[in-house]
Amino acid sequence: MALASPLQLPWPHQPPAPPPHLTLRLSGTGCRCTLSGVPSISSFDPPRPAVILPGLGNSSGDYQRLQVSLQEYGVKSAVARVSRLDWLRNAAGLLDPNYWKGTLRPRPVLDWYLSRVEEVVNEAKELAQGRRLSLVGHSAGGWLARVYMEEFGKSDIALLLTLGTPHMPPPTGVVGVVDQTRGLLDYVQQHCANAVYTPELKYVCIAGRYIRGVRAFGKPYEDSEDAGTGDIGERSDGTAVMTISKATVGVATLQARFIGQGYKQVCGRPDVWGDGVVPEVSAHLEGALNISLDGVYHSPVGSNDLSRPCLEPDDA
């Protein structure tokens, strides 16, 4: 099954007009996107480099496969130098009274991460040779990219592509929901620039629909929502969403109940679709080009090509 569309999707670079013909192909549980009728990449200007920003708990080495995929498209990339142990630095936030109030700010507790981003951006500028860059943020790396752009400037950035990023803070007043970011996402929402998809700066948010969570007790679902069928729709908040998926049905397994409780901590509801960690609704951002991919898991750790493909730009 293939879906042809003239819509330009979020490659880390865009070839000059006229746009290529895009063919979206469903393969097994995942989606792949191929270019047909496009001249060799050597006939275009070299694509701009991509800067990859690791997600919470991930290390730089987790993104080697992503770098290989980008290189296949002629895109050079660099990953912010982050180890798993580095994330323990966030424990410094426990000493900040704002942590306990739920009003924590990214700085200074995340200055260590922002400095790594600054370092890798400077490295990528050498590869760019005067061209602008693409930021590819996985999970928390996506909203941290927004903080970086706000604090350090975005004149060198042409694209922010987020993969499974929880952009929205959890709702307040929901029983059993605790803001695990302790106010960080509230800060991002209030102080970072709104996403506006323009030719000068593109915002693209990719969400995975790997598993639908269910309620821990009682009726599994609040409604009879089913999976997307591959068209462009609109959320209740007016955000446009392109869903590239096969119709599937959630199953009330023990795993789905457990994952549903994780979704609830992020978006306030357990019975929603998501990538196994981040709910689909939280991974989209108003004003961005929002894309949902069926059967795609959250993290490169524990993923595989067959039953659990991971979010990657070439999946879009």
Residues 283 and 217 sit within 8 Å (Cβ to Cβ): no
Q: What is the C-alpha to C-alpha distance for residues 292 and 242, in angstroms, rounded to an integer? A: 6
Domain boundaries 47-315, CATH class: alpha beta
Residue 302 has pLDDT above 90, yes or no: no
Mean pLDDT in residue range 223-232: 45
Q: Where are the beta strands (DSSP E) in the chain?
A: 2-5, 21-27, 30-36, 50-53, 77-79, 133-138, 157-163, 202-209, 211-212, 232-234, 240-244, 273-274, 289-294
Backbone angles phi, psi at 234, to 5 degrees: -140, 135
- pLDDT given at position 3: 32
155-169, 232-246, 274-288, range with the lowest pLDDT? 232-246
Pick from 181, 180, 179: nearest CA to 144: 181
- pLDDT given at position 251: 59
Pick from 189, 286, 192: nearest CA to 237: 286
Mean pLDDT in residue range 258-267: 92
Mean pLDDT in residue range 41-45: 51
- pLDDT given at position 294: 92
Q: Domain extents for the chain?
A: 47-315
Who has greater pLDDT, 217 or 263? 263
Q: What is the C-alpha to C-alpha distance for residues 297 and 311, in angstroms, rounded to an integer? A: 6
Pick from 112, 109, 166: nearest CA to 137: 166
Residue 149 has pLDDT above 90, yes or no: yes
Residue 312 has pLDDT above 60, yes or no: no
Mean pLDDT in residue range 223-239: 48
- pLDDT given at position 117: 98
48-89: per-residue pLDDT in tens? Answer: 999 999 999 999 999 999 999 999 999 999 999 999 999 999
Mean pLDDT in residue range 20-28: 32
- pLDDT given at position 24: 31
Residue 148 has pLDDT above 50, yes or no: yes
